[in-house]
Chain A
Amino acid sequence: MPSLTRRPLHHRLADRAGRVLEFLWSGWAGLAALCLLAAAWQAGHEAYGPFILTSPLDTVQAVGALAADPEAWAIGGLTLQRAITGFALVAAAGTALGVAAGYSPATLRLAGPLITVLMGVPPIAWIVLAMIWFGGSDATVRAVILISALPVVFLGAARGITTRDRTLDRMAEAFGAGPVRRFLTVGLRQTTTTLFPAFALALGTAFKVAVMAELLANAGGIGGALADARINLDIAQALAWVTVSVALLIAVEYTLVHPAKAEIDRWRRAAQPWGVKR
């Protein structure tokens, strides 16, 4: 009889390959959305002219020129490194604080007004403060990402814990699970429902804030390149860097956040009707 605790390797590999192919196939919807955006962009270009809005084709050509330039790769890499390390910081700190607050109603009540204050302060204010504290360095960008995205991750983690199904906790306890094991096997797993959307939002914030902080703090990276394009009134170059920034965000989201979410949330697919799955 086959093992019931672990399915054979070839079954698991076939399942995984099937999921990857389905995921790739589902990309046609994204491509269709991008085509619609390009059509609207082209219409804007034709209405206002190339000085206000360059055409999508010119922008793609500018992106191609950047792709051939090793220096552009270094600029993009610097922003990518800052955004990912900032995101990692905010994901770790926000999850730890949110989970702790989720288990402590008094802490959550105290944290509520602080979160409102943090969310009410615009990122640009934090950029000015971080520039004074850290100068035009990586630390400035990471600190602004941390402060800007922390409330979202914190609330995602805290809400995941407070809205968890407590009958599962009781079940685990009835079968002998101690507090730590209950947290690791039951509590933490249930935070994913609210934590992953928060992660996706925080990742987008990380890239946006990284570029903005680089631009304002004159700290190089894509923000610095955008500042140069602004000085030269080079719309194609500016849009090319914006495209690179968005492409980096999409690449990270679909190679980091989505695969992790798909792996953890496999069971949700079982409840989806056929038309939603594909």
Chain B
Amino acid sequence: MSALTLDAVGHAYLGRTILEDIDLTVAPGEIVALVGPSGCGKSTLAHIAAGLTTPRTGRVGRGYARHAMIFQDPALLPWATAAGNIDYALKLAGVARRDRGDRIAQAAGAVALEPDDLEKYPVELSGGMRQRAAIARALAVRPDFIFFDEPFTALDVALRRRMQDLVIATCAAGHVSGLFITHDLAEAARLAHRIAVLDTKGRGILGQRALAGAPADRSDEAVFAWVQAALRRNPLFRHIHDVDERQIA
């Protein structure tokens, strides 16, 4: 059984169709990257898949036990410390209070958050530390599926790479499935087992390409070569860097 199945999903805002006839599956233990230009409906599709938005048409099948989500904005509660934010997700997941301290420490350790950082409010943390706290919050609930909604877009190159390594290691170790939304083909090629390309107008999945080997085993050279070849020779990826500001608005 698939971890996630999108069957003929469509959606519209105020009468304007933004997604139509989307079919996509994610197998257990697989990370699928969904790429496409800004404004093509990737985030809306992730929200539909995660149950945050009800699709206008089609069906969503979820074969996993628990999901978590990492947003582009860390979306941390400003009135709670980093530990309090992780604890919030654990409370919602119904984890007993006596276990929550250990779970917070484990999740924080996985993303290299120090105990001192855990006592700080989000306003006292840098952008990278906030995103780490958001990742720790997602990991703490021990999901078997994670939705990544362009989580590293706002980070600088070095930090983004460290966060990508963290995701690769976490997903490989925990046999976690995921849907990774990005408009960065290099990021998709580093993290995913398979890349799906969304139509520029959201009218279906244009095509999918599987990448060789597991993300953890892929070298930078192999990723670079694959991306260059895809952009130069594969028409599927021709429009993923197009930007239509009208669609974004």
**When A and B form their complex, what is the total count of cross-chain residue pairs whose Cβ atoms lie within 8 Å?**
72
Find out whether the CB atom of A5 lies under 8 angstroms from the CB atom of B83. yes
Contacts of A266 on B, CB cut-off 8 Å? Answer: 79
Number of interface residues of A (CB under 8 A): 25
Contact partner of A270 among B77, B89, B100, B124, CB < 8 A? B124
A35 CB → nearest B CB, Å: 35
Q: Are A171 and B79 CB-contacts (below 8 A) given A4-B118, A5-B101?
A: no
- Give A106-158 interface residues, CB cut-off 8 Å to B: none
Query: What's the minimum C-beta distance from B91 to chain A, rounded to whole angstroms?
Result: 9
Interface centre among A171, A177, A266, A271, by most chain B C-beta atoms within 10 angstroms, is: A171
| Any B CB within 8 A of the CB of A172 | yes
Q: Is the CB of A181 within 8 A of B52?
A: no
Q: Mark B116-132, 1 if CB is under 8 A from A, else 0.
A: 00111101100000000
Instruction: Give the interface centre of A3, A185, A189 by most chain B CB atoms within 10 Å.
Output: A3
Chain A neighbourhood of B88, CB < 8 A: 172, 175, 185
B78 touches A174 (CB 8 A): no
| B133 vs chain A, min Cβ distance (A) | 12
Interface range, B side: 35 or more
Given the complex of chains A and B, what is the CA–CA distance between A189 and B119 in angstroms?
20
The listed residue (A7, A186, A271) touching B77 by CB distance below 8 A is A186
Let me know if B77 and A168 touch, CB within 8 A: yes
Q: Which residues does chain A contribute within 8 Å of B67, judged by CB atoms?
A: 174
Residues of B within 8 A of A167 (CB): 71, 73, 75
Does A48 belong to the interface (CB within 8 Å)? no
Out of A177, A186, A271, name the residue touching B123 (CB < 8 Å). Answer: A271
- 20 A–B pairs (Cβ distance < 8 Å), ordered by A: A1-B101, A1-B105, A3-B101, A4-B105, A4-B118, A5-B100, A5-B104, A170-B71, A171-B75, A173-B52, A174-B50, A174-B67, A174-B71, A174-B147, A175-B141, A189-B79, A266-B79, A267-B123, A270-B121, A270-B123
Residues of chain A at the chain B interface (Cβ within 8 Å): 1, 3-5, 7, 167-168, 170-177, 181, 185-186, 189, 264-267, 270-271
